[in-house]
Structure 1
Amino acid sequence: MPGSRDLPDPRAPCHNDRAGQGPAADNPAVAKLRSQRLEHIPKVTSGMEMEASNGKTLPALMVFAESLRYMKEHALNTVQEASFHTVCDPQEITWVITVPAIWSAAARQFMRLAAKEAGLISDMMSEKLIIALEPEAASLWCKQLPQQGFIVEASDKKKFEDSPGIQYIVVDCGGGTIDITVHEIQENHYLKELHKASGGGWGGNRVDENFSAFLREIFDDGVWDEYVKRHPTELQNMMYNFSLQKCSASREAVYIRCYYNLTRVAESRKEISQFFTNVTGAVWCDGMIMITYEKLKSFFEYSIKNIVGTLREILSKPEMAKVQYILLVGGFSTSIILRDAIHQAFSKKYNVLCPIEAQAAVAKGAILFGVNPKIIASRISVRTYGVEIYTTFDVAIHDFCKRYVSKADGFVYCKDIFKKLVGIEESVNINEVAEYTFHPVEQDQTCVRFAFYSTEKHCAQYVDEEGMELLGSCAVTMPDTRLRKKRKLRLDIKFGLTEFKATATDITSKQSRTIVIDFLAV
């Protein structure tokens, strides 16, 4: 795998074989750390910043950490008050943080780092923090609800069945993202994922953005931009008011209060009612902005188009033929506009259900997941994952420019080879451990560096191909060099977890260590 040693050449290789696939000597290999990445894909890093609507910025880690710190203290105070002021031992508490299933490994690690900064855990490897995927958590909650736990719709045909063999789609409609997963209930009532997590940034925030853009059209001449910049707190209240209105269960016009400072800024230009003279879909009503139901629906068009389109794409696949239910969860799913669109598109063939407590489904399901994380039996890999290696150079298939000659014995390798560990859309059991064995190529090699990559391709030959992304790297020491090239380093990887878990064991010294991949550093 990756090679790094206490010599001038930082790329000292090692060779490997997958357990049970033949002798290691037949497959020499090495991998090294590479800083290359795709520039057009946004990367989550520990130093990234967030920009407020008024243009001011703060470190994202500070924003997330302080938010988690507030929720931690609120939770502990609530528990203490409910238990007659009994003091809770922090060491006895397991925290569960939910994240969208479509989030990258770096984003999930960022949440763990924020939890550490907030004091939820003492170190990054703590088992007192569990990362739960939001649609999975919601699925756990919904499948144990009685029929009375779902909103009654005219097109609903029957209650959700928590029976072996039942297949269903979970559409987690949040503020930022729409998360879509497909599950099948197993004999032991555990869940098996049938399709890789899908979705995108089509959540309720996109509706808010469209509403804000509409207000900018109304309050032209720089009025809206001045208001956004100078009165962010009042703006936040206004947008919160709209967020409640957009999720109304009624199919009627909505009324949004026009706050004092917006009125004042607008009337510094002209009579406020004049801003609405040529506006279609909104009327000024004595301090309120009345938005027609049809105009309100137009704010949802982008989100609905993407959600319905993605669902149709997934459901059109032959392996989805047995799906019976579509479960809508998350705060955005409480919107009658969104639910009407999903019902209209799918209710003739599928049972579309939404729990009464749609917004709380993720949080309540996270508790169930925290109690038994193994209840998710398998997941579908969202990308192809692999490691960079050096392998025996073959003039018939390898590029000559990737030729590398070992300093130890002159052996000729091909560098930058991508060794696939798990493929995209491949089902991976949660408790399944993949085992790989590596051997040093340099006789005095004392450190091996593992560099992990991913791609959306099913197969790839080199790690520098287009679409390849460096996920992270880690170094593992091999201090005892007496056996020279006969030494072995075993790597055990669990791919099905919500976070990357790997253990490296130096067979010679019998020393093991958990590998920590720093996804935030690349």
Structure 2
Amino acid sequence: MYKTNDYRVVVGIDFGTTYSGFAYAHKKNPQEIIVHIDWQEYSGRFKTPTALSYDEGYRNVQSWGFPALAKRPKKRRESERKPVELFKLHLGKMTNKPPLPKGFDYKKAITDYLTEMGKVIKRTITDRWDIDFFTQVLIVLTIPAEFDDKAMVTIRECVYKAGLLMDRFSRNLKFTTEPEAAAVHCMKSLKEHNFSIGATFMVVDCGGGTVDLTTRKLMDGERLSEITERSGDFCGGSYVDQEFLKFLGHKVGPSAIKLVKENQYGQLQFMVQEFCRLIKMKFTGVQSEFHPIELELDEICPALMQYCKGEYLDNMEGVDWSIKLKYKDVKAMFDPVIDKIIRLIYSQLSSNDKCSALILVGGFSESKYLQSRVRQEFSKKVQVISIPPQPVTAIIKGAVQYGLREEVVFDRVLKWTYGTDVTRKWRQGDPVNRRNEDNRIIVFKKLAERGAQIAVDEKVTETFHPYSPTQRSMGLDLYITPKADANFCDESNVKLHGKWGVNLPLTGNRSILYNLTFGAVEIGVTAYNPVIGECKTTFELDL
């Protein structure tokens, strides 16, 4: 098996909710990080839409990326199949997940999309360098901060099925969170502000579907220490688009918007893209700089004329299918989303009141209104508020930089309390119904507590003894809980993270020295006994 040092090329993949992309670099020239910009006929774009168009049975992909999404309206009123998008959100824990075609598995969409992107990645890398993709390329895939271990396992399976891995457990795939990758990329840009070792900074990654935050401390040797728990929520730039469609629904009727989504989705997306081009990315929030903009709906989305009915139809015909967006209308589309982002920043700052810099990255961070609101709210609380050049590429480049030098991440703050199940004698006050026939009880044994700062490769050690002379094996399953501690492993907030166990020697020293090592992306687990030697396994570290 290849070690990290054997990889010659690192590929960073930003698999986003609304847009995705990748970048790469050769270890011999780590300063030259190349962001892929040749997306089918849409050359020059840093990312391509995370969207797929299927045939009638949703078996085969017909198009993906830009060609699958927005389509200029046709004169003929022909029905078209809605593309599949926003499927990444099904990996998260949000309650109102976007709908998918009936009976369609979101894992298929992720696999199909990564298959198409993977073809571009493999062709790009092997055309540039004469290398073996499966053994000499390290893939670093970024994930939102709020994703759990189950999401990582699902993505790994999809990456394997997409043909990017030799096997499901291949070590040429590593994960890092989106805000962590952004922090790695932004670290060097802080030098221009003369920040010293020990200074802390917050990275706010404002993407299309999610916003992720992390606070880091600068360490010696250009390394980063995480000092607060990562946080995030579903409040990215695409939610401004949804507010625009709600506004439009008040004009043409909610049912008309719904029917266009179902039957002429390409036209709807074309209209949304026109809104983004003409209004969304130009909106500064300064009323004197805003001029009311008229959208001719019969030109940019003629299908609305087909589905608009009743009083809505009369009103729209009365204004010749033209709607005017005023300052207060556009501001009302932004404010609910930006207000949520500001609350997230306040929550992060509450855990660290000595934050020296706040850095905005991600596609939505290019919004002038978002920038001005953040500066207005936090300029007196944070010394520097910065938006790096090309903020949309910060995560992709940071993922590559992380892969080139994993030791850049010094430590992390645990999101979970880790523990295992142990057997001990029943005590007065323990639940009677949990008392076994041999007067023993199985309880949760805490090994590492949520919120603790754990250095990369730091070990947590515990010694366990068999509960009886006849015990032939010892279960060392790993459990996690969001609480600081737990009493029992079957409580509602405790879940099994991974199963493992070892056989015990029949005689002699039968104790087990149990070690947890919190690596960069995995938890290494060892069980040592002088008779049986050392047994090892690994679990995914829930980032």
* 1:182-331 alignment runs, 5 A limit: 182-220=215-253, 222-244=255-277, 247-251=280-284, 252=290, 258=297, 259-266=300-307, 274-275=315-316, 289-317=323-351, 320-331=352-363
Which residue of 122, 127, 131 maps to 1:76? 122
Q: Tell whether the 8 Å contact from 2:522 to 2:538 is kept in structure 1 after alignment.
A: no
User: Greater shift after overlay, 508-517 or 307-316?
Assistant: 508-517
1:487 match: secondary structure:
coil
- In 2, the alpha carbon distance for the partners of 1:183 and 1:465 equals 33
Asked if the contact 2:481–2:495 (Cα under 8 Å) also holds between the matched residues in 1, the reply is no
Partner of 1:101: 145
The corresponding residue for 2:520 is 497
- 1:474 corresponds to: 499
Contact 2:257 2:304 in 1 (8 A): no
Cα pair 1:431 1:496 within 8 Å, conserved:
yes
Contact 1:385 1:453 in 2 (8 A): yes
Cα distance in 2 for residues equivalent to 1:245 and 1:62: 35
Residue matched to 1:425: 451
Match of 1:16 in 2: none
Distance 1:244 1:373, change over 3 A: farther
What's the counterpart of residue 436 of structure 2? 404
Cα shift readout 1:4-50 (whole Å, capped 9, x = no counterpart) = xxxxxxxxxxxxxxxxxxxxxxxxxxxxxxxxxxxxxx9959xx9x9
Confirm whether residue 175 of structure 1 aligns to residue 200 of structure 2: no
Cα pair 2:240 2:334 within 8 Å, conserved = yes
Return the offset for 1:364: 0.6
Answer whether contact 1:44 1:107 (CA < 8 A) is retained.
yes
**2:532 aligned with 1:509, yes or no?**
yes
**In the superposition, relative to structure 1, how do residues 161 and 105 fare at CA in structure 2: closer, same or farther (>3 Å)?**
farther
Quote the Cα distance in structure 2 between the aligned partners of 1:337 and 1:493. Answer: 46
- Corresponding residue for 2:510? 487
For residues 250 and 518 of structure 1, the distance between their equivalents in structure 2, rounded to whole angstroms, comes to: 41
Secondary structure of 2:189's partner? coil
Alpha-carbon distance change, 464 to 51 in structure 1, aligned in 2, over 3 angstroms: closer
CA RMSD of aligned residues (A): 3.3
In 2, are the aligned partners of 1:184 and 1:192 still within 8 Å (CA)?
Answer: yes
Shift of 1:505: 5.0
Counterpart of 2:169, as a letter, is: M
Distance 1:178 1:98 in 2: 13
Structure 1: gaps (5+ residues): 1-41, 148-158, 278-283
Correspondence for 1:151: none
Pairwise CA distance, 1:462: 2.6
Does 2:155 align with 1:111? yes
User: Contact 1:247–1:332 (CA<8 Å) still a contact in 2?
Assistant: no
Structure 2 counterpart of 1:432, which letter? E
Taking a change above 3 Å as real, the CA distance of residues 307 and 145 of structure 1, as seen in their structure-2 partners, is same
Determine if contact 1:54/1:232 at 8 Å carries over to the other structure.
no
Residue 120 and residue 517 in structure 1: after superposition, are their counterparts in 2 closer, same or farther (change >3 A)? same
TM-score, structure 2 normalization:
0.73
Q: After superposition, what is the alpha-carbon deviation per residue over 1:374-419, rounded to whole angstroms, capped at 9, x for unaligned? A: 2110111123222232222211x422221123xxxx4x2222x221
Change beyond 3 A, Cα 1:487–1:363: same
Q: 1:194 to 1:210 in 2, by over 3 A?
A: same
The verdict on how the C-alpha distance between 1:304 and 1:228 changes in structure 2, with shifts beyond 3 A counting, is same
Encode CA deviations 1:188-224: one digit per residue, 9 max, x unaligned: 2200111111121122232222222222332217212
- Whether the 8 Å contact between 1:54 and 1:228 is mirrored in structure 2 is no
| CA distance 1:178–1:52, shift in 2 (3 Å) | closer
Partners of 1:300 and 1:458 lie apart in 2 by: 37
Q: CA, structure 1 residues 386+54, in 2 after alignment: closer, same or farther (shift >3 Å)?
A: closer
How many correspondences in the alignment?
A: 444
8 A contact 1:54–1:230 mirrored in 2: no
Which whole-Å CA distance do the structure 2 matches of 1:99 and 1:233 have between them? Answer: 28
**CA separation of 1:435 and 1:243: change in aligned 2, threshold 3 A:** farther
- Cα distance in 1 for partners of 2:157, 2:199 equals 37
Mapping of 1:145-184 within 5 angstroms?
145=189, 159-161=192-194, 163-184=196-217
Q: Residues of 1 paired with 2:488 and 2:279: CA distance?
A: 48
Shifted more, 343-352 versus 202-211: the winner is 202-211
CA deviation string 1:209-248 (max 9, x = no partner)? 2222222332217212211111233333333444555651
Distance across 2 between alignment mates of 1:242 and 1:499: 43
Give the distance between the partners of 2:188 and 2:251, measured in 1 at CA: 47
Identity %: 24
Alignment counterpart, residue 109 of structure 2, candidates 39, 63, 69: 63
For the 8 Å contact 1:167–1:324, the answer to whether it is kept is: yes
- One-letter code aligned to 1:172: D
Does residue 373 of structure 1 match 2:396? no
Give me the whole-angstrom Cα distance separating, in 2, the residues matched to 1:92 and 1:496.
21
Pair 243,505 (structure 1): closer, same or farther in 2 beyond 3 Å: farther
Cα shift at 1:336: 1.4
Distance 2:497 2:100 in 1: 34
1:126 to 135, 158, 170: 170
Distance in 2, Cα, partners of 1:391 & 1:242: 64
Aligned CA distance change for structure 1 residues 243 and 110 (closer, same or farther; 3 Å): farther
Deviations 1:307-362 (A, max 9, x none): 21232233244xx2321111011111111121111011011232211112111000
2:462 maps to which residue? Answer: 436
| Partners of 1:472 and 1:370 in 2: CA distance | 25
The residue aligned with 1:3 is none
**What amino acid maps onto 2:506 in structure 1?**
R
Q: How does the TM-score come out when normalised to structure 1?
A: 0.76
Contact 1:503 1:512 in 2 (8 A): yes
Describe the shift of the 1:314–1:237 C-alpha distance in structure 2 as closer, same or farther (beyond 3 A). Answer: same
Query: What residue in structure 1 maps to residue 365 of structure 2?
Result: 333
Which residue matches 2:483? Answer: 457
Secondary structure of the residue that 2:146 maps to in structure 1? coil
Give me the whole-angstrom Cα distance separating, in 2, the residues matched to 1:499 and 1:218: 52
> Do the aligned partners of residues 491 and 126 (structure 1) sit closer, same or farther apart at CA in structure 2, a change above 3 Å counting?
farther
Contact 1:381/1:426 (CA < 8 Å) preserved in 2?
A: yes
Match of 1:25 in 2: none
TM-aligned CA distance change 1:331 to 1:501, over 3 Å: farther
Q: Structure 2: 5+ residue runs without aligned partners?
A: 1-88, 285-289
Name the CA shift for 1:257/1:366 in 2 (closer, same or farther; >3 Å).
Answer: farther
After superposition, the Cα gap between the structure-2 partners of 1:447 and 1:378, relative to the gap in structure 1 and judged at 3 Å, is same
Aligned equivalents of 2:458, 2:470: Cα separation in 1? 33
Closer/same/farther in 2, CA of residues 271 and 191 from structure 1, 3 Å limit: closer
* In 2: Cα distance, 1:471 partner to 1:244 partner: 47
Aligned to 2:53: none
8 Å Cα contact 2:253/2:312 also seen in 1: no
Q: Which structure's relative contact order is higher, taking Cα pairs within 8 Å and 6+ residues apart?
A: 1
Shift of 1:124: 3.2
2:422 aligned counterpart, secondary structure: strand
Amino acid at match of 2:148: S
